[in-house]
Amino acid sequence: MEINFSILKYSRLILEPSKLLIEVIEKLVSLKPRGKKERFDLIIQPMHKQFEEVHRDYAQMFRNLKDSLPVKYDNNLYKISGKVRKYKHKSALAKSRKMIEDFDYKRAVKIGLRDWLRHSAQGIVSELKNKKERQYFYSIFVYFLDDEFVENPSKELIECTMKTLQERGGGAIFNTPSSIVIMNLDKLKTVEEMHDYLDAEIHALGLRCSNVIKSYMAMM
């Protein structure tokens, strides 16, 4: 199956690290069988460096959102942008929702890369014959398509998912990328709940990244 490497590749909403990650994946699947060490040195290693940069960008977006939200001190006192101000709870909540709207726009960076991976998954997996490369790509897929994330997945689960990807494609087995983070934040009634939710999301992002790192280290 041919991979469409033009999808979203030059969108202004895609940060440069994400564009470069797509380009390195393109290089990997176009590089016909060579020695494992050569593939690792030429492709996997630079790809992982790009992934780490993408992860830093996205994790920083979450941290920036959390840091931009009001922090309650006492009664109607909130710390916003380093200054303590008097706000009614309703006003502090409205301020928080405005920050979340700004974050939603920036989050399109990740959505674009997720869409590309979802629709290109079948072509990518079809070209990967080495089991450890397949495991690495599995961890990349579930990092971006996080509805499928399982901490410490078994080898059987990884290979089953990759076989299904090869047979049916990412559009069939991965959920459509959603704005579930934004929807969940919008349902929360207090600024404190928003902070707790974002702490949990930042932690989950770190877990997904650690799985990518583990599968990368397994190839070294």
Position 113 pLDDT exceeds 80: no
Is residue 11 a part of any domain in this protein?
no
Amino acid 5: pLDDT = 36
Is residue 55 a part of any domain in this protein?
yes
Amino acid 53: pLDDT = 80
Is residue 151 a part of any domain in this protein?
yes
> The tokens of 25 are what?
């994946």
Average pLDDT over residues 116-142: 77
Amino acid 97: pLDDT = 86
Is residue 29 a part of any domain in this protein?
yes
Amino acid 214: pLDDT = 93
Amino acid 16: pLDDT = 58
Is residue 84 a part of any domain in this protein?
yes
Give the list of residues 6+ apart from residue 11 with CB closer than 8 angstroms, or none: 112
Confidence of residue 8 (pLDDT cuts 50, 70, 90): very low
Amino acid 112: pLDDT = 64
Count how many domains the chain has: 1
What is the residue-averaged pLDDT of the chain? 75
Is residue 6 a part of any domain in this protein?
no
Is residue 26 a part of any domain in this protein?
yes
Amino acid 216: pLDDT = 93
Position 108 pLDDT exceeds 80: no
Collapse the DSSP code of 6 into the 3-class scheme (helix H, G, I; strand E, B; otherwise coil) and give the result.
coil
Greatest alpha-carbon span in the chain: 65
Is residue 153 a part of any domain in this protein?
yes
Amino acid 175: pLDDT = 57
The proportion of the chain whose per-residue pLDDT surpasses 70, expressed as a percent, equals 73
Q: Which domain holds residue 165?
A: 16-217
pLDDT in tens, 38-90: 878 877 888 788 888 878 877 888 888 888 888 887 777 788 777 777 778 88
pTM of the model: 0.75
How far does Cα 192 stand from its chain's mean position?
A: 25
- Stated as kind and residue range, the H or E segment containing 67 is helix 45-68
Helices 108-127 and 45-68 meet at what angle, rounded to 10?
160
Amino acid 33: pLDDT = 58
pLDDT in tens, 147-196: 667 888 888 888 887 777 777 766 666 654 445 677 788 888 888 999 99
Amino acid 213: pLDDT = 94
Position 7 pLDDT exceeds 50: no
